[in-house]
Amino acid sequence: HRPAHGARRRALTATVPLALTALLASASPAGATTTGGAGAGDPYFPLAGNGGYHVAHYDLDLRYDTATRHLDGTAVLTARATRRLTRFDLDLSGLKITGLTVDHAPAAHRRDGQELVVTPRRALRKGQTFRVTVTYRGTPKPVTDPDGSTDGWIATDDGAFVAGEPQGAMTWFPANNHPTDKSSYDITVTVPQGRTAVANGVLVGRRTHQGRTTFHWRQSEPMAAYLATATVGTFQVRQYTTRDGIRVYDAVDPREATAAAPVLKKLPSVLEWESRLFGPYPFRSAGSIVDHAPDVGYALETQGRPVYDSAPDVDTLVHENAHQWFGDSVSLTSWKDIWLNEGFATYAEWLYEEQHGGDSAQKTFDALYARPAGDPLWAYPPGDPGDGANLFGTPVYARGAMVLHALRTAVGDRAFYRVLRAWASEHRYGHGTTADFERLAERVSGKDLDAVFTTWLHTRGKPSRP
């Protein structure tokens, strides 16, 4: 499933500011200027992503000096124009560009905030595959999000915690930085010998030369830019293959090792349990990156291998790995649909507790429902957080999970689990919207669910009945 870009773009011109609307591309005759556009049309992050092309593959070659915090990078993007382009944008925040070519020819470029505006020597034809090579360097700075948290390349005392939700991918590589665009990745990172660089997918090469070690990672399944990582630290590494043939790579900061060990041991059983509920695990690799990054304050479901700022508990392990189905394999088309990620991953925790000697999901639901009308839980409906500052709030996580529990109560367990599996399989490696999910739930269950979704997902305030 791919979003209908034309339709989305038309719909969005109503919601984005006028200045931005002027930047969005319009059809024009050959020979005229046709720009890609500065954003993918997301109302919360209007400059995130870009118009006019898709990236098929990123080949990132990085070198990080953990002592000076200096990053040197070469990014080779293989992309395809979705319309004629005399100019297009990439997203890049900070860093200095030392070279930029399109199909090996030097291309004019300028910086404008997070926009890197590229004018290739010759216009790109609609449908043309082209290659952009950017060399860059500098000290990466994380971005500050509307909720005050930071993400991107976050330096630690022994390396860097690298997690890009929702905006931070552009702090370490030039990207089409919106989940509507998914790509395969080769990520090669050179670090001082003794440090380990952990990215997504499978480790395909590793060599040490003159005091530096190079790690080459390959993510073959489609991945949104925000789910890429290249976390660097002093890590204890463990590698094994599960009974289902999934390649596991665990990297653990020694300061977190004692607390992490009993939790990481459960990963194979958690993935087996989630596979029974949600369908086959979507990726060929798995694992955990357990960093010691006390200033970060969150974990991220980096694809195939979540990154944790400290040793996770079992619920967090369940949560981040549930995202591999819901969020990573099935991606958002718009950040306002974030409950499709967080509500689902939170409900996975409830189900895990229910089936492993903890509280029933009903009991968890009831305890939340008991909260008074003025509680932050009811501050906004999960289907419309209203603002990028609310993406990771309690109404998205907890009330988002309540939506799924209300659905389960309405359709019964058999139909409910069929809905979850159908969502994961029909949108595998693709995208989905809230409206897509509502339609799918009605189709699979054969029930009219309008009242359930209106009440739990879309209506402001505490619902009058549980």
> Which residues would be at the binding site for ligand ARG (CB under 6 A)?
145, 149, 151, 165, 298-301, 319-320, 342, 392
Contact between residue 165 and residue 145 where contact means Cβ atoms under 8 Å apart: no
Strand 431-432 to 331-332 pairing: parallel
Contact between residue 296 and residue 191 where contact means Cβ atoms under 8 Å apart: no
Q: Minimum distance between the CB of residue 223 and Zn ion, rounded to whole angstroms?
A: 16
**Is the bond leading into 166 cis (omega within 30 degrees of zero)?**
yes
| Tokens read off for 406 | 């209300």
Residue nearest to ligand ARG (CB): 149
Q: Minimum distance between the CB of residue 160 and ligand ARG, rounded to whole angstroms?
A: 15
**Considering beta carbons, is residue 248 or 401 the nearer one to Zn ion?**
401
Q: Which of residues 26-55 bind Zn ion (CB under 5 A)?
A: none
**What residues pair up with 289 in beta bridges, in sequence order?**
251, 307
Choose among 462, 336, 331, 459: nearest CA to 387: 336
The partner in contact with residue 124, picked from ligand ARG, Zn ion, none with C-beta cut-offs of 5 to 8 angstroms by kind, is: none
Q: Minimum distance between the CB of residue 147 and ligand ARG, rounded to whole angstroms?
A: 6
Choose among 249, 225, 288, 287: nearest CA to 60: 225
**Considering beta carbons, is residue 64 or 161 the nearer one to Zn ion?**
161
**Considering beta carbons, is residue 181 or 342 the nearer one to Zn ion?**
342
**Considering beta carbons, is residue 144 or 269 the nearer one to ligand ARG?**
144
Distance in angstroms (rounded) separating the CA atoms of residues 200 and 60: 12
The partner in contact with residue 89, picked from Zn ion, ligand ARG, none with C-beta cut-offs of 5 to 8 angstroms by kind, is: none
Dihedral of the CA atoms 201, 267, 430, 348 (nearest 10)? Answer: -160
Q: How many residues comprise the chain?
A: 466
Per the rule left: phi > 0, alpha: psi between -120 and 50, beta: everything else, 9 is alpha
Q: Minimum distance between the CB of residue 300 and ligand ARG, rounded to whole angstroms?
A: 5
**Considering beta carbons, is residue 92 or 270 the nearer one to Zn ion?**
270
* DSSP H or E stretch at residue 220: strand 212-224
Buried b (16+ CB within 10 A) or exposed e, 5-38: beebbeebeeebeeebeebbbeeeeeeeebbbbb
Q: Does 406 bind Zn ion (CB under 5 A)?
A: no
Q: Minimum distance between the CB of residue 228 and ligand ARG, rounded to whole angstroms?
A: 14
Q: Minimum distance between the CB of residue 300 and Zn ion, rounded to whole angstroms?
A: 8
Q: Where are the alpha helices (DSSP H) in 17-112?
A: 18-23
Q: Name every residue whose Cβ is closer than 8 Å to that of residue 344 and which is 6 or more positions away in sequence.
A: 322, 323, 325, 326, 327, 400, 401, 404, 420
**Considering beta carbons, is residue 186 or 353 the nearer one to ligand ARG?**
353
Q: Report helix, strand or coil for 72.
A: strand
Site for Zn ion (CB under 5 A): which residue of 267, 345, 398, 444? 345
Q: Which of residues 324-343 bind Zn ion (CB under 5 A)?
A: 342
The partner in contact with residue 298, picked from Zn ion, ligand ARG, none with C-beta cut-offs of 5 to 8 angstroms by kind, is: ligand ARG
DSSP symbols for 272-299: HHHHHHHSS-S-SEEEEEE---TTT---
The partner in contact with residue 299, picked from Zn ion, ligand ARG, none with C-beta cut-offs of 5 to 8 angstroms by kind, is: ligand ARG
**Considering beta carbons, is residue 115 or 301 the nearer one to ligand ARG?**
301
Q: Name every residue whose Cβ is closer than 8 Å to that of residue 415 and which is 6 or more positions away in sequence.
A: 444, 445, 446, 447
Q: Minimum distance between the CB of residue 327 and Zn ion, rounded to whole angstroms?
A: 7
Distance in angstroms (rounded) separating the CA atoms of residues 118 and 90: 8
**Considering beta carbons, is residue 62 or 163 the nearer one to ligand ARG?**
163
The partner in contact with residue 149, picked from ligand ARG, Zn ion, none with C-beta cut-offs of 5 to 8 angstroms by kind, is: ligand ARG
Q: Minimum distance between the CB of residue 286 and Zn ion, rounded to whole angstroms?
A: 17
- Total chain residues near Zn ion (CB under 5 A): 2
Burial of 395 (0-12, 13-18, 19+ CB in 10 A): buried
**Considering beta carbons, is residue 120 or 400 the nearer one to ligand ARG?**
400
Q: Minimum distance between the CB of residue 303 and ligand ARG, rounded to whole angstroms?
A: 12
**Considering beta carbons, is residue 145 or 274 the nearer one to ligand ARG?**
145
The partner in contact with residue 248, picked from Zn ion, ligand ARG, none with C-beta cut-offs of 5 to 8 angstroms by kind, is: none
Binding residues (CB under 5 A) for Zn ion: these are 342, 345
